[in-house]
Structure 1
Amino acid sequence: MQVTFLGTNGWFDTPTGNTVSVLVQSEDYDILFDAGNGIAKADQYISQKKPVCLFLSHFHIDHIVGLHALCKFRLRKGLTIYGQPGSAGLLDRFVAEPFTVPLKDLPYAVSVKELAAGEHVLPFKVTCLPLVHPAPCFGYRLEIDGKIITYCTDTGVCDNAVALGRDADLLITECGLKSGEESPGWPHLNPENAIGIARDARAKRLALTHFGAGVYTTLAERRDIQERFSPECHGLIAATDGLQIEV
């Protein structure tokens, strides 16, 4: 299974990267997490031989701004968008005239399915739970091809992030803050927080993404995080746009 980080910034694009999107390529599906501007690069990687699934964590603009690029895709097996209750109505308003091409007018089949918190079989197993953020936000746990992939952004430290990441082969979390920083009024994770979640969850590997665009202004700062904390979190990844890893 291959994981590609299409966009790794939070909030806005900078020379360090596009806003957040992750592609997971399983045997039978191409699976996307979030639709920041990084999603526009998905057609460089997807096979066109598999159905495409897109899981939206929440509706802050940096996680959905890339939806306007869907009109350039030609997804022969179609696209299914999953999100929390209320997603269909929000997408009907946002992916619509006069802002962009409506979902119903895209040149391939698109469906939107709302998921309640809990476990689902889609047919692969997905667990979604609310995270700690000013806007309602889901984290996701996929169990597919004998692997567990967990995606948790945006969030502060919470029990649900640990539950979703339990024994994950790859835990993907945000890293909006620098070491030692806190943001109680607008919860995000610093590296120590993310490592603590991974440790409590006994996740096999941790990848950091959604780096605050105004906080991490250079890629060197990300490399410093990886080098500094790798001794206490073996295999730690500070993701950059275009990074591909095997799980």
Structure 2
Amino acid sequence: MRCRVIGMWGGYPKENGPCSGYLIEQGNFSVLVDCGSGVLMEVQKYIDLNDINHVMLSHYHYDHSSDIGAYLFSRLVNTKIGRANEHLQIYGPNDEDIKRKVEEVEYSKFSSFNEKSEIHIGPFTFTFLRNIHPVETYSIKIESENSKIVYTSDTSYMKELIDFAEEADLLIVESSLYEDMDGSSSGHMNSKEAGLLASQSKAKKVILTHLPHYGDLENLLKSARNEGNENIDLATPGMLIEL
């Protein structure tokens, strides 16, 4: 299993730097996890859009989902001209408005999930943990054979994440804030909390994501590593992690 970071900025994209999007692959099978601003353009550097038939959305804030509308029309056009022959399957928290918007575009379908769901897509099994965030949001665990990726998406720190991410081969943990900032009211983690989760879960490799647009990002990294897990790096667009 391998993970390609397509984008990792919080809130809005930078020039040549999209918001949240992660391409998960095994063999020739691919799933896109989150599809925020700028992701749809950037992901085409690595794969044809018609070769991704499944998109998993952690929640519907724009920096995690805004490019999904363009994806629906990509599949519509490419099916009509014979370049795609499978429906685009979108998964996300239950939302009738989102379901309507997805399924009113031909050749796309929507399926919902919650904390009790277990979804099997190709070689992958997806399970979920409800987060602390202003809207319904989930951490996502992706397992295949002997490999495990855990993506926290957006959340305040909570102890339940430790068990959920236990001994993950790859932990993709949000670090929206610097150590001296409190994210509990906004539903985000700071770098110290991200490092604490990395250490307590005994994750084997960790990348910090959902990064802020201000300050020295190296301070995020230093703060997180100070909690005891040194196998932590900053996410960058195009980063490839092979498990």
Q: What TM-score, normalized by structure 2, do the two folds share?
A: 0.83
Write the distance in 1 (CA, Å) between the matches of 2:150 and 2:135: 20
In the TM superposition, 1:112-151 aligns within 5 A as: 112-123=110-121, 124-151=124-151
Count of residue correspondences: 231
In the TM superposition, 1:128-207 aligns within 5 A as: 128-207=128-207
Q: Structure 1 runs of 4+ off > 6 angstroms?
A: none
Shift of 1:156: 0.6
Greater relative contact order: 1 or 2 (C-alpha under 8 angstroms, separation 6 or more)? Answer: 1
Q: Does 1:226 align with 2:221?
A: yes
Distance 1:24 1:111, change over 3 A: same
Candidates 85, 89, 96, aligned match of 2:94: 85
Distance 1:144 1:18, change over 3 A: same
1:200-230 CA deviation, whole Å, 9 max, x = no partner? 22211111111123x45xxxx2244335644
Match of 1:58 in 2: 59
Shift of 1:2: 2.1
Q: What TM-score, normalized by structure 1, do the two folds share?
A: 0.82
Distance 1:246 1:63, change over 3 A: same
Q: What stretches of structure 1 of length at least 5 have no aligned partner?
A: 96-101
Write the distance in 2 (CA, Å) between the matches of 1:243 and 1:21: 12
Contact 1:5 1:241 in 2 (8 A): yes
Match of 2:14 in 1: 14
Contact 1:9 1:16 in 2 (8 A): no
1:78-109 CA deviation, whole Å, 9 max, x = no partner? 432111222xx23245x4xxxxxx65535xx4
Contact 2:175 2:220 in 1 (8 A): no
Bigger mean CA offset, 65-74 vs 122-131: 65-74
Match of 1:243 in 2: 239
CA RMSD after TM alignment: 2.5
Distance 1:48 1:168, change over 3 A: same
Write the distance in 2 (CA, Å) between the matches of 1:163 and 1:198: 11
Name the amino acid aligned to 1:118: K
Bigger mean CA offset, 132-141 vs 7-16: 7-16
What SS is found at the alignment partner of 2:198? Answer: helix
Name the amino acid aligned to 2:242: E
Write the distance in 1 (CA, Å) between the matches of 2:220 and 2:36: 23
Bigger mean CA offset, 171-180 vs 21-30: 21-30
Match of 1:110 in 2: 108
Write the distance in 1 (CA, Å) between the matches of 2:47 and 2:153: 23
Shift of 1:27: 2.5
Write the distance in 2 (CA, Å) between the matches of 1:78 and 1:160: 35
Write the distance in 1 (CA, Å) between the matches of 2:52 and 2:211: 29
